[in-house]
A and B are shown apart, each in its own frame.
Chain A
Amino acid sequence: MVPTTYYLILSAVLFSIGALGVVFRRNVLIIFMCVEMMLNAVNLTFAALARHFLDLNGQIFVLMAMVVAAAEVAVGLAILMKVIRNKDTTNVQDINLLKG
């Protein structure tokens, strides 16, 4: 049986990679993909701790997080497509209309 800490470390590594991807990439689609990867890493943490404490509530939370992620991806990609079509760029630094 694999110790729970291994799963937590793997989840932290995936989360860090996703976070660094959000900060370092400039294509909005890839940033969005890295956000989804971060959500997945947190789901993995919840599932690992659900098995660790033998509590089913962790898996229910993962289910809810997956539903929220699905809805967020649908609406977020629709918004992204509109913005990209409007500004004619996929560079996140060009979407700066609200910049002070």
Chain B
Amino acid sequence: MVLFIIFSLIAVVAAIGVVVSRKPVYSALFLLVNFGTLAALYIMLEAQFLAAVQVIVYAGAIVVLFLFVVMLIGGGELTDIRDPNKTLAQRLNWARLVAIVLAGLLLGALAWGFITGSLNPLQGSEAAFDQGSGQAIGNVLYTDYLLPFELTSVLLLVGMIGAVVLARPPE
């Protein structure tokens, strides 16, 4: 329980850091911390394979891609929502207001359900879960989910081709 509180606090602080950072490099590094703590939470959720894949794919590839792009493109973020030319009413246009209201609704509904105790845990069968190890996921992935697995390989191939085509120098 203590571990959960520590990791969730770090995750939330890192998430806020991603959103409010001035420079994109700081946002990418806060994102890295967020992904790392999420991997730790996956281990607490008995999803060890997912935690390893999270570190390899998200923290090890996606954040690296972001940092590459930030390196090649540069920051370019000086004025944002604190634009002095706009008043507060102008900055809070309808889209931002709707986002704030919906986020508040989601958190309020969860808080209400949490307080009134209507979100109570049930129980499932322990046999097939098998601690979320690689062997258990492999058993399911290569039998029940063989077609989605092969389709993901095709998806990755298509993504690679697309990225290479987009990165070609102009003729």
Residues of A at the B interface (CB closer than 8 Å) are 2-10, 12-27, 29-30, 32-34, 36-37, 40, 43-44, 47-48, 50-57, 59-60, 62-64, 66-75, 77-82, 84-85, 89-91
Instruction: For the complex of A and B, list the 4 residue pairs with the smallest distance between their C-beta atoms, beginning with the closest.
Output: A54-B124, A71-B159, A21-B19, A16-B103
Question: SS class of chain B's interface: helix, strand, loop or mixed?
Answer: helix
Is A2 a contact partner of B4 (Cβ separation < 8 A)?
A: yes
Digitize B113-140: 1 where CB-to-A-CB distance is under 8 Å, 0 elsewhere. Answer: 1100001011111101110100011001
Which chain B positions have C-beta within 8 A of A48?
A: 45
How many residues on B have C-beta within 8 angstroms of the other chain's C-beta atoms? 82
Give the residue name and chain of the A residue nearest to B148 (CB). Answer: A64
Whether the pair B129, A54 counts as a contact (CB closer than 8 A) is: yes
Report chain A residues within 8 Å CB of B167. 78, 81
Inter-subunit contact B73/A59 (CB<8 Å): no
Interface of chain B residues 2 through 47 with chain A (CB within 8 A): 4, 8, 11-12, 15-16, 18-19, 21, 24, 27-28, 31, 34-35, 38, 41-42, 44-47
Is B88 part of the contact surface with A, judged by Cβ < 8 Å? no
